[in-house]
Structure formats: C-alpha cells, structure tokens
Structure 1
Amino acid sequence: MSARWAAALVLGFALALAMPATALAAEGDKAASADDGAAAPKESVELVCKTTLAGVRGWQSTDGGKLAGRKSGSAAVTALRIAYKGTVDGSIKYQTYQATGGWSDYAAANKTSGTKRAANPIQALRVKLTGELSKRYNVYYRANLVGYGWTGWGKNGQAVGARKLASVRGYQVKLVKKGKKAPGSAKNRYFSKGAASAEAFYAQGGKTRTQLTRALNKAKGANSGLKAFGGKYNFNSKAGKKLKAAIKNLGRYKLSFTMIDLKTGRGISYNPTKVLYIASSIKGPYVAAINKYRAGSVGAGTRATMSSTIKVSSNEGYSSLRRRFGHGIMKKMMNYCGISEKEMTSTRNYPYMSSRTLAKLWVGTYWSYYRETNTRSAWARGLYAHPWNSFIDRGLSTPTRSKPGWYPGGGYNVQNDGGVVLSSDGHYVVAVMSSACGQYGKLANLVRAIDGVHADMVK
C-alpha cells in the first residue's frame, strides 16, 4: 500500500470514530436543555371517605367533596374512615361523637372512628389536617342530620353535628386551598343538648304554625275512615297494613286520630272530626298557655302545681290553675292555634272536641315550647316526659312530650292522648281520642303503627 493511501485510511478511520462521539454530545446537550425547562410536578391532594350505615352491610366508598352516606331516611352513620393521598406532605385526622360514648380520640388517616353499632350512631364530628398540608389547605366539612338536613360548614377541627339531639346520616369533607372561599355558610354547624343551640336546632325548617293549621283543616270527616292529607300515601304498604290491623283491633270502640309531620305538613287521619270528651288531655295545652302568656307570674308554688297537673294529672291542681289564670289564656291559646269556639268551648274546663282540634292544640304547644320560647320553656316542656298513663309514651321508645286523659264510666268512657313525638325521622304531632278506656296495649300498638307510617311517609 502506498504511503498516500495509508494516510487516507488512517484519517478516515479517525473521522469515523469521532462522528458518533460528537453526535452523542450534541444529543446530550439537547437533553440537558430540555430538562432545564421542564415544569414542576402538578400538586395533587385527594380524599376518600368510607362509611358504614345502620342496617346496611359493608363500607361505602366516596370521593372527597361528595356526599358520604345519605341525605334522607333514618339510617345513621355508625363509623367512618377518611384517607388522604397527595403530593403535599401531611395527612388528616378526625374524631366522632357517638350517642352513648361521647367524643372518641382522634383517628389517623384511614383508621376507623365509630363503633359500627346501630345503637350507637355518630352525632357529630371534627376533622383536622397535619403537617405541610395544614399550612397550605383548610379542611371544610358538614353533616346531614336525621330529621333536620344539612348543617353549616365546619373548618379545621370545629365541631359539626347535633350532640345528643340527632344522628348523622351523611357528611361531606373538602380540601380548599388557603385564601380560597369556603364552600358555604358556617351558620348552624353545631348543636348541643341543654344549650341555647338546642333551641336553634328545634326551630329550623318546616312549615309555619299557620301552614300547619291549614294542613290540618284538610283532614275531614267524622266517619271518613283512614285517609292521608298533604300528599298521597299507600296504605297497602307494609307500614300501612300494620296500621289497618291496629285499627281493626280497636274495631269495637269509637276511634279518632290525627297525625301531622311538623316539617312537611303531611299527615294521616282516621275519623278526624269525630267529637269525644277530652278528659284530662286538655291539661297539657292549658299549662302550655300559662307558660306562654303568664310565665312572669309563675313562682315556685305554681310550678309545683303545673308539674302535678301534667305528671300525675292532678284534677285539684288543674282546677287551682283554672281559678287563678281563668279562661282568657285558653282563648288566647285557641286563637294562637287557629281554633274557633265551634271546635271547642274555651270556658269549659273539660270540653268536647275532635282529634283534629287536639292536634291543632299540640301544634301550638310544640311551637310555644320549641320555637317561640321564653326562659321557662325548657323547664315546662320537660314536664311532659313520661306522664302517668300515656300510651304514646308507653308505645314508643322515641322521646315524646304528651298528656293523656281518661274517664271510665259516667257516660264518658274515654281514653285519649296527645303530644309531640321527637322522632329521628322528623318531629310530628299525634292526637288519639277513643272510647277504648283501659285498652293501653291496643292503643300503644296503634301509636307504634302510626309511627311506622310516619317514618315510611317522610323517608
């Protein structure tokens, strides 16, 4: 090989070796340039809520921000878990208030808070963030309460719910970046029994007193049988059939009843305008009238008389109150309840009336004790818990406020009861008038059947 060709070959080989290195270097420079301009990873924060409900098997999973549980019916949340996943360091923790256990300790993310027992539902909750997450975000949450609806929004550890008043059936939890608006109002976020907030809880929502009176006026007929008003109801349902059976079981007696839900104005009735002797059931609304119109005149002695009049149905106590306060406050109470003298006579200590009229009196009694209240209302309404011989109280495990009346013989033969049922499905008034004197078991069974229809009607 000539020297010239040898030199050319060496040069070509050298260039061949050099080319890939140059190309690789160029590609490397491009890659480095691309890395230098890359966007930072997108920030993500996610929650997942898991919930157990009374009577429902297993855990239900819901993305954060959405409804966990339900917003209707009476099935309460019995346990919950909240999980956090995101690019921001930190986590979430929460505690719950249970009906029979009080406030739990804070549970870490994805750990169970609650007992999963239907008899021990969750009534309130608190939620907090930790770490860097708590510095960048606020956690907002609210509860949907049985018989009430949505509370206001709580934030960063504030209590939400209704301690000792109602069960949580659903809830929402949201993460909101600091500086951003809250998802809604905080008004009425938390209620607690025995505090002023309890009054706010009882006063929320529902029909006005006048609207309820108008709704009751739609219940008509002394012999109309079983009817619904304010909306349709299928009495061939399971609950409806139980009610018809309970009525049949009292077939040999005169019977009239009226029930009205205080939030919706819907109700049912059976011969609602049949007139019977009221007996001592009138004492309940009369004592309510004293508390409403003459609370400032009530001293310790009068309070004792009011107590015996309601709790043990003292006739002497009632006569004493009538002599002192007269018929005028009963007339005022009748006007307050939308009742005319044709429906009952205000000047009679023990008038005749229908179950519809007694229901109107109890709408007004409820309203005066739970909505348009005074400083004595909480004390006075407590008198009506577990009064002697109340088949409403006997028939229901739900809290009730009632006043029965009965009179055996003397041409009267009546067994009556009227009151308010503070059901977790929603508060309602029920008034039952009958000639079934002494038939406590049958009448308690009737009240349970009415309660079942109410729960079915409003679910």
Structure 2
Amino acid sequence: MEPRPRPRGPKGREPLLPYNFLEVSLVTLSIAALSLAWPLGLGELVVGTHDGTEAAAADPDESLPSDELLSLELPDASLTALGHPRPQAIACMSAVQEEIVRLAAQGVDVGFCLRDLDGNEFVAYQANRDFYTASSIKGPYVASLLERRVDEGDLPLGDVASRVRSIVLYSDNDAYASLVDQYGEEGFAGWLEEAGVDTGVYDDLGAYAETKYPRSTPSQLADEWEGIHAYLGHRTKASELLAGLFEERETSPIRDALGSDARSWSKAGWFPTRESDLVTPAANDAGIVLHRDGSGYVLAVMSTSPADLDVLEGLIRALDELSLCL
C-alpha cells in the first residue's frame, strides 16, 4: 500500500470541498437551479454551479467545472455529489438511489460519506445522522494507539501487536476491551481532535472517546479514516503492520463488493439486536479504496441492518461506480 500523506487536523488539513460549499449547497437546494429529465422515481436531479448560477445539460465530452453540485431529493434526505452533470454521472446517481430504495424496502436505513483522497469529490446521504458504530470504531482506536503511543516511544509495539492483530483481522471484542481498559481513551480523544472529527451527538470528543462503542455519523467515520490514511503514510513499523492488517481483514463488505477491481483497507462493524436507544442494530464498513489508476477515496457506510453486511454490497458497488463517473 502506498497511501498519499495529507496534512492533519484543523490547522493544517486541506479542505475536501470549497470553503463555501455549505452555503452553495443551501442556495442550490433552495432555488433548484435546474431539473434534468431522468427516470429517477422518488426524486429529481437538481444541478447548480459553485457560484449559484444555472448549469446547462452537458455534452459528455464537454469540459466542465469540477465543482458542480448534483442533488437528488429523496423522501428523507438529499443524495448529493460534487462533480460533472454528464449523463453517465446522472445514471450512476440513479443507481445509488435504487440501492437506497432497495434497502429501505427491507427496513434498513443507511447513511454514507465518500470523499476523494485529493479532496475533489464528495458524495453523501444522511452523512450527519448518527448510527451505532459497533466494531467499526475499533479501527480508529487502534490507529490512535499506535500513532500516539507506539510511534511516540511510550509503548513497545510488541506489547500490543497480537491484540491489534486480533482486533483488526477478527474483530476480537476481548482484545479490544483489553486495550481500552489498559490504555484508556484520552489518547484517542486527542487523536480525534487532531483529525478534525466533529463531536456528533456527544457534548465533546472526550465523551465520544470514552464510550467503547459510541454512536457516530458517517461523516465522523470518514474524518477518522482520513486520519488513518494520513497515518498509514508515515511508513513506521507500526503503521505498516496496521496497513497490512486492514487489507487482510476477515470481514468487509467493501472488499467483497469491489473484489479485484480495487485494493481496500477497512474495519467493519455489526450488531444484530436493539439493546437500548444507544445500542441498535448495525452493519457498517469504513475505510480506504484505491483503484489501479491511482485514484481512490475514503468511504464510510453505516446502516441499521441487523448484522447483515451482505446487504451493503450493492450500494458500495454503486458508490464506487459513481466515484468514477464524477
């Protein structure tokens, strides 16, 4: 794996979108600058440019700005993507919509956040809605421990390597609990802050970090995996160990969906039943995808599917196709 290092944290991390993306999004969604005729079923595609002016339907070969917002209105939320309003991109948006509708018909609510590694593309649906993380939080925690404790020389890699291996490869709950109980969550909270992770439904990142299995938004998990992507580029003994484990993990709908078409590094999480308002059914995967041409993205997919990870594969394939269309 050869991940490209990126600046980290609120003081140095490059923006993934134009600085005024949120303002432009609100303007675009409110004025509905242009509706394109397309058999999209539950919604219609709205396209607007970065400066709020109308965008004309484009010839597939025409050179276009890279910062046009495509928004597909669904009953519960908007599916948004930043890219070119070419016919193939619109078709890919429709395919993602069909997967969302398919999951809804099975009683599964889903949210996702996809960010290009260069910060040029962004796809989101219910990215700020909270879901139960289940074991998907283990990847960020382990990365924070290795970066902030092992690489800083405070903790020998040999003291934690076997537990890290069990956690990443097999999602070992006992090994994870052992690490958290022994080394705590303070370092994790600091790592989250450095990565620019939002607090989500918690009052602060300390409260988020001290919960072994917190609730999280897809946007938060994507932030965390941006931090992991930066860490894997450090090329330390610990980061190289972690990269190999993330690639060899036993369970991953991202890997299963994309197969040999791409390399991927991720940590999935799943839970079958509802135990409380905080602990609910989940099937999640979050990580990094790299294509043969060197392009790639960070993806976080979270859902209320009761531990059935297979149902996410169609959506992940559709999102991968959309990332290539934008």
Scaled by the length of structure 1, the TM-score of the pair is 0.51
Post-superposition CA distance 1:287-337 (Å, at most 9, x none): 110111111313324100001011100111111111222111111121122
The alignment covers a number of residue pairs equal to 255
Does residue 416 of the first structure (1) align with residue 284 of the second (2)? yes
Does residue 211 of the first structure (1) align with residue 15 of the second (2)? yes
Partner amino acid, structure 2, of 1:401: W
- Say which SS state the counterpart of residue 115 (structure 2) adopts: strand
1:404 to 268, 279, 286: 268
Instruction: Using CA pairs under 8 Å that are at least 6 residues apart, name the structure with larger relative contact order, 1 or 2.
Output: 2
- Say which SS state the counterpart of residue 348 (structure 1) adopts: coil
Aligned-residue offset at 1:386: 3.6
Aligned-residue offset at 1:210: 3.9
Post-superposition CA distance 1:419-443 (Å, at most 9, x none): 0002235120000010122433331
1:266 to 118, 121, 126: 121
CA distance in 1, matches of 2:247, 2:298: 15
- Is residue 115–residue 297 contact of structure 2 (8 Å, CA) maintained in 1? yes
- Say which SS state the counterpart of residue 16 (structure 2) adopts: helix
What is the correspondence of 1:17-96 to structure 2 with a 5 Å cutoff?
Answer: none
- Say which SS state the counterpart of residue 404 (structure 1) adopts: strand
- Is residue 112–residue 124 contact of structure 2 (8 Å, CA) maintained in 1? yes
- Is residue 343–residue 357 contact of structure 1 (8 Å, CA) maintained in 2? no
- Is residue 413–residue 437 contact of structure 1 (8 Å, CA) maintained in 2? yes
2:255 to 389, 393, 407: 393
Aligned-residue offset at 1:396: 1.0
1:309 to 146, 167, 177: 167
2:101 to 233, 248, 253: 248
Which stretch has the larger CA shift, 315-324 or 335-344? 335-344
- Say which SS state the counterpart of residue 310 (structure 2) adopts: helix
CA distance in 2, matches of 1:217, 1:318: 38
Does residue 326 of the first structure (1) align with residue 184 of the second (2)? yes
CA distance in 1, matches of 2:210, 2:84: 38
Does residue 369 of the first structure (1) align with residue 232 of the second (2)? yes
Gap change, CA 1:342 and 1:434, over 3 Å in 2: closer
Greater CA radius of gyration, 1 or 2?
A: 1
Gap change, CA 1:343 and 1:330, over 3 Å in 2: farther
Partner in structure 1 of residue 300 of structure 2: 431
Does residue 448 of the first structure (1) align with residue 301 of the second (2)? no
2:143 to 285, 288, 293: 288
CA distance in 2, matches of 1:342, 1:447: 24
- Is residue 5–residue 231 contact of structure 2 (8 Å, CA) maintained in 1? no
- Say which SS state the counterpart of residue 212 (structure 1) adopts: coil
Scaled by the length of structure 2, the TM-score of the pair is 0.71
- Is residue 216–residue 356 contact of structure 1 (8 Å, CA) maintained in 2? no
- Is residue 200–residue 220 contact of structure 2 (8 Å, CA) maintained in 1? no
Aligned-residue offset at 1:381: 1.3
CA distance in 2, matches of 1:374, 1:275: 33
CA distance in 2, matches of 1:265, 1:287: 28
CA distance in 1, matches of 2:138, 2:6: 28
CA distance in 1, matches of 2:185, 2:6: 32
Gap change, CA 1:236 and 1:210, over 3 Å in 2: closer
Gap change, CA 1:385 and 1:217, over 3 Å in 2: farther
Does residue 227 of the first structure (1) align with residue 31 of the second (2)? no
Partner in structure 1 of residue 240 of structure 2: 378
Gap change, CA 1:243 and 1:216, over 3 Å in 2: farther
Post-superposition CA distance 1:331-375 (Å, at most 9, x none): 1121122124345512111111111111111111111112x4433
Which stretch has the larger CA shift, 431-440 or 356-365? 431-440
CA distance in 2, matches of 1:323, 1:387: 23
CA distance in 2, matches of 1:423, 1:254: 28
Q: Displaced runs of 4+ in structure 1, greater than 4 A?
A: 213-223, 231-236
Greater share of strand? 1
Aligned-residue offset at 1:209: 3.1
CA distance in 2, matches of 1:388, 1:362: 19
Does residue 360 of the first structure (1) align with residue 223 of the second (2)? yes
- Say which SS state the counterpart of residue 272 (structure 1) adopts: coil
Gap change, CA 1:285 and 1:257, over 3 Å in 2: same
- Say which SS state the counterpart of residue 103 (structure 2) adopts: coil
CA distance in 2, matches of 1:326, 1:354: 22
Gaps of 5+ in 1: 1-192
Post-superposition CA distance 1:44-94 (Å, at most 9, x none): xxxxxxxxxxxxxxxxxxxxxxxxxxxxxxxxxxxxxxxxxxxxxxxxxxx
Aligned-residue offset at 1:213: 8.3
Partner in structure 2 of residue 17 of structure 1: none
Identity %: 26
- Is residue 5–residue 229 contact of structure 2 (8 Å, CA) maintained in 1? no
